[in-house]
Structure 1
Amino acid sequence: MKRYLPFLIITFLSSCTFFESKEKRTQELINEELGQIDWNTVDSYPFFYTCDESASKAEQKICFEETLISHFQETLNDFEFTLTDAESETVNVIFVIDTLGEIKVVDIEKDASVLDQMPEFDGIITQSLKNLPKLAPALKQAKPVNSKYRIPVQLNTN
């Protein structure tokens, strides 16, 4: 027994985790795992139910973007937007798709001349986004997450 006593003492003293509480070690493991997650990307993009859910991430992105742009163009083609002050104006529409697949307009970045010449512009853009077909939210580690997007809209003068 005396031969094993120094070995046991050395093993006991060299074990760092022996003195740590289980809760502290668990929290450290969670923090380490969270630190390895890339929070700036999603595992799957929001998708319209007309898109293939089992497609690759790149294909999902293409389908999402094409469906979004197609719907947006169809809706906006019904309206005449004209500017008289500049050759063209770019308006940025910023929106969030929440965890339920609902779209919420965050901001419409535009020059003051756009507001002066087309006061109904914000309402038309907002309504266009709200009339998008049903979609599922983006996923991160199999959980629905909010995702933010920016669409540049080019307005031309006549």
Structure 2
Amino acid sequence: MRYLITLLLLCFLTGCNWTASREKKTRELVNEEILSINWEDVDKYPLFEACDETVAKTQQRACFTETFLDHLSNTLQETELVLEGEVNDTVYVDFLMEASGSVSLVAVHGPDNINELVPEFKGHIQQGLDSLPSIKPALKRGIPVKAKFRIPIVLSPQ
């Protein structure tokens, strides 16, 4: 009987140790994997319906950028921006694409007096964003993620 109790006690103590060891090893593997991920880059860029998702990543980016810029450019041309004074400058516009595929205006970087030079500039940009066709979000390891991007807009009196 004493041998049976000793054997059961020994099995119980070593069994608990194995579980803790496996848990620790799993945690270490997960931490190593997380550290190896490049969080500054996505696996697949956001895509419009017109873009082919089977092409290389650089071509996906080019298609997204071209389609986005074409749409925004057409929207700005339709609104006929009114420039107050002589403007010949570049404005950088930051956008955030959510994991849901929606795009929002984050910031406009340019001359300090951009709102005086181009009244309602942000409103025209927002109008272009609101009329964008549907976009598939960027993917990281198969999971939709947020993506931030910046585009230059050249303002000239033409």
The amino acid of 1:82's aligned partner reads L
Which residue number corresponds to residue 42 of structure 2? 42
Which residue number corresponds to residue 113 of structure 1? 113
1:4-153 to 2 correspondences below 5 Å? 21-78=21-78, 79-86=80-87, 88-153=88-153
The amino acid of 1:60's aligned partner reads Q
**Cα distance in structure 1, aligned partners of 2:41 and 2:90:** 26
**Cα distance in structure 1, aligned partners of 2:130 and 2:117:** 23
Query: Across the two proteins, how many residue pairs are aligned to each other?
Result: 141
TM value normalised by structure 1? 0.81
The amino acid of 1:21's aligned partner reads S
The amino acid of 1:80's aligned partner reads L
The amino acid of 1:112's aligned partner reads D
The amino acid of 2:83's aligned partner reads T
Are the aligned partners of 2:81 and 2:118 in contact in 1 as well (CA < 8 Å)? Answer: no
**Cα distance in structure 2, aligned partners of 1:93 and 1:81:** 18
**Cα distance in structure 1, aligned partners of 2:20 and 2:141:** 29
The structure richer in helix per residue is 2
Q: CA deviation at 1:20?
A: 6.2
TM value normalised by structure 2? 0.81
**Cα distance in structure 2, aligned partners of 1:20 and 1:119:** 64
**Gap change, CA 1:89 and 1:83, over 3 Å in 2:** farther
Q: CA deviation at 1:91?
A: 1.1
Q: CA RMSD in A?
A: 2.0
Q: CA deviation at 1:36?
A: 1.0
Are the aligned partners of 1:81 and 1:155 in contact in 2 as well (CA < 8 Å)? Answer: no
Are the aligned partners of 1:83 and 1:155 in contact in 2 as well (CA < 8 Å)? Answer: no
Which residue number corresponds to residue 155 of structure 1? 155
**Cα distance in structure 2, aligned partners of 1:117 and 1:57:** 38
Offset from partner CA, 1:19-38 (integer Å, 9 cap, x none): 96322221111010111111
**Cα distance in structure 1, aligned partners of 2:60 and 2:102:** 18
Are the aligned partners of 2:82 and 2:119 in contact in 1 as well (CA < 8 Å)? Answer: no
Could you list the runs of 5+ residues in structure 2 that have no partner in the other structure?
Answer: 1-16
Could you list the runs of 5+ residues in structure 1 that have no partner in the other structure?
Answer: 1-16
Which residue number corresponds to residue 10 of structure 2? none
Are the aligned partners of 1:83 and 1:114 in contact in 2 as well (CA < 8 Å)? Answer: no
Q: Percent identity?
A: 38
